[in-house]
Amino acid sequence: MAVSTPLHLTGLICSALVLAMLGNSTFPALIPLFQETWQLSASQAGWVSGLYYAGYAAAVPLLVGRTDRTDARSIFIAANLLGAAATLGFAFFARDFWTALPWRLLAGAALAGSYMVGARILADRIEGPQQSRAIAWYTAHFAVGIGLSVFAAGELASRFGWQAAFVFGAGGSVAAALLVWLGTAAHRPEGAQTSGEALRWLEALKSRAAMGYTLGYACHIWELFGWRAWLVTFLVAAPALGGLAQAEATRLATLALIIGLPASVLGNELSLRFGRRRALTLMMLTSAVCTLSLGLAADGAAWLLLTLVFVVGVTAMGDSGSLTAGAVAAAEPERRGALMAIHTLLGFGAGFVAPLAFGTVLDAAGGTQEPQAWAWAFALLACGALLGPLALRLGRNAAAS
């Protein structure tokens, strides 16, 4: 039976997102294992991690943009079934760098029909201040899904082998499709009879307010996804921690990732209270400083490194919900799908490049065993966060968010 109240709908779609994300970070969580088993360099590991988001960026114009004409519910269901097939394909057919790439690319394309499409399900069915809070809670659950994906990967791989972790992730995608199919009703989008695809995209690009948040989101994703992709490897390799085991590192990473949920929700509440751009600027600058400090702490005291890991888990996620909620609120309803497609295309395009760039810097600066290499790589991520406030200035004179 379909749920009806905004609270129940938000809970259902958040739960579906967490289930859909269970295969998301399985590879990044097991990079040390795959580097040893498949003899991957840091650059190659970055390619496999990043190509997931390249698949997302390639598919998002079609799938998210289509929500202006097609019920987002049906797209979400189909995409999660595709994601289950891709994750199973990795489990049974990926055996080295080259055979891993197509399956992660396909899984990323499936995510394009899950994450922001789920946000569209909420945006179509909830209006006003409740919409902003619903989307903030929803985007925050992205971190919960990633955290549980990392945790499950570490625990299952250590007990049953890495293939079991991917099979588990595939099961989550199937469960997400079933939950949305059974728990939501069909909805006709407002833009179903509007202008052509290219024209709607051009009109969406003209919204200065929305594009300011979208460019800021790309800067945010650059920092966040680079950190997430390499967090477990950093915990394993950092001299300050004396060589953590894979399972220990994934448990710590899970906690650091999951604390992003309250951070994202609180960040959106602060934006509603004190002004979105002002709050976002402060959060981005703080996050840049903390990310830079984390890289410099690679060979410092263990207590300092662990403290910074959890601090970055908060600061890197604090702006996430507010940026997306700001972009959605600034978009006209009939072009909301086009704007959300652009929003995620730019954001997850940055999410593709960041893990690859991080791994390339690691290789160029001496590899994962060299503390200075980590300092340079995290500095690269911090640069993205520093550019975020400049992006927000694009829409500062536009209509209030």
pLDDT on residue 191: 53
Of 222, 92, 105, which Cα lies nearest the Cα of 166?
92
Query: What is residue 373's predicted lDDT score, i.e. its pLDDT?
Result: 95
- pLDDT, residue 365, reads 94
DSSP string, 163-213: HHHHHHHHHHHHHHHHHHHHH------GGGGSS-HHHHHHHHHT-HHHHHH
Of the CA atoms within 13 Å of residue 281, those in its CB half-sphere come to 14
The reported pLDDT for the residue numbered 354 is 93
**Domain map (residue ranges) of the chain:** 6-395
- pLDDT tens for 151-162 read 999 999 999 999
List pLDDT tens digits, range 328-375.
777 666 667 777 778 878 888 898 899 999 999 999 999 988 999 999
The two structure tokens encoding residue 132: 């902003």
Specify the pLDDT at position 276. 83
Instruction: Note the pLDDT of residue 299.
Output: 92
d(CA 102, CA 150): 21
Residue 333 has a pLDDT of 67
In this prediction the pTM is 0.81
Report residues of the chain scoring pLDDT below 50. 193, 398-401
pLDDT score at 399: 45
d(CA 290, CA 262): 18
Give the C-alpha separation, 126 to 121, whole Å.
9
How many residues appear in the chain? 401
CATH code of the domain occupying 6-395: 1.20.1250.20
